[in-house]
């Protein structure tokens, strides 16, 4: 039985909280996570003009965009343009990001939306920390490399787990890189570890001396 509504059959066990959720309550929870991230990190405004980027062949991107479009119904003045990139690499590579930034500039759009989940954000950040290269995302935004003036790259799914996103749309979660596999494995064995790593990275970034 769903521990949130107490009426419908549970289909997903949220291990890090102990909740057992039905499809409707799981989806509503993900909507809340997206809205909370947008508000907490000031990622979008009710009248934002955004370029939403989807990697062709990456199922979680398509699911994430579906979730964002459901949330966007509450903000009818938001203008959304789409860009599909033929790139199935995960975590995201900077060449794909550069293509998105160039296209946003060409279209005169000030915000780029990437449908990266919490696991993929952590995987990108771990690669950046270990190699001092690649992309760094914190608090729902691209920090490195610095986007061009007038452009903002945001991650509304920053606090959404890919596992939960796939479960909400009754799809399988795919793994496609050693670093992403590591993050998935840690979350599986130590529920909540993805959020713990995100919060730790944020604290390191805030620490005196600029550790990140």
The SS3 call for residue 69 is helix
pLDDT at 94 over 70: no
pLDDT at 176 over 90: no
- Look up residue 151 and give its two tokens: 């452009």
Distance CA 162, CA 116 (A): 9
Mean pLDDT in residue range 123-152: 86
Distance CA 140, CA 205 (A): 14
At 109, is the pLDDT very low, low, confident or very high (cuts 50, 70, 90)?
A: very high
Mean of per-residue pLDDT scores for the chain: 88
Per-residue pLDDT tens digits for 180-206: 889 999 999 999 999 999 999 999 888
Structural domains in the chain plus CATH codes: 44-206 (3.40.50)
Distance CA 135, CA 63 (A): 22
Q: What is the pTM of this model?
A: 0.89
Q: Is the peptide bond before 101 cis (omega within 30 degrees of 0)?
A: no
**What pLDDT is recorded for position 133?**
60
At 50, is the pLDDT very low, low, confident or very high (cuts 50, 70, 90)?
A: very high
Q: How far is CA 124 from CA 17, 50, 140, 169, 177, in A?
A: 25, 22, 13, 24, 11
Lowest mean pLDDT among 65-79, 102-116, 158-172: 65-79
More confident residue, 114 or 58: 114
pLDDT at 125 over 60: yes
At 89, is the pLDDT very low, low, confident or very high (cuts 50, 70, 90)?
A: low
Distance CA 60, CA 48 (A): 24
At 93, is the pLDDT very low, low, confident or very high (cuts 50, 70, 90)?
A: low
Residue with tokens 């691209």: 142
């Amino acid at each position: 039985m769903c521990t949130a509504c107490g009426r419908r059959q549970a289909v997903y066990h949220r291990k890090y909280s102990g909740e057992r959720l039905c499809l409707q309550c799981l989806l509503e929870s993900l909507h809340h996570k997206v809205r909370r991230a947008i508000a907490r990190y000031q990622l979008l405004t009710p009248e934002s003009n955004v370029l939403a980027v989807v990697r062709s062949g990456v199922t979680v991107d398509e699911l994430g965009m579906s979730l964002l479009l459901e949330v966007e119904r509450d903000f009818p003045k938001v203008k959304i343009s789409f860009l599909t990139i033929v790139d199935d690499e995960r975590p995201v590579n900077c060449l794909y990001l550069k293509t998105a930034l160039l296209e946003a500039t060409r279209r005169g759009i000030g915000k780029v939306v990437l449908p990266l989940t919490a696991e993929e954000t952590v995987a990108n950040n771990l690669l950046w920390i270990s190699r001092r290269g690649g992309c760094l995302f914190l608090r729902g935004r691209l920090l490195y490399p610095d986007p061009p003036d007038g452009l903002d790259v945001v991650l509304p799914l920053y606090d959404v787990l890919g596992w939960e996103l796939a479960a909400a749309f009754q799809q399988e979660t795919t793994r496609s890189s050693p670093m992403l596999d590591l993050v998935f494995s840690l979350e599986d064995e130590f529920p909540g570890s993805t959020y713990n790593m995100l919060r730790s990275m944020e604290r390191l970034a805030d620490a005196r001396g600029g550790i990140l």
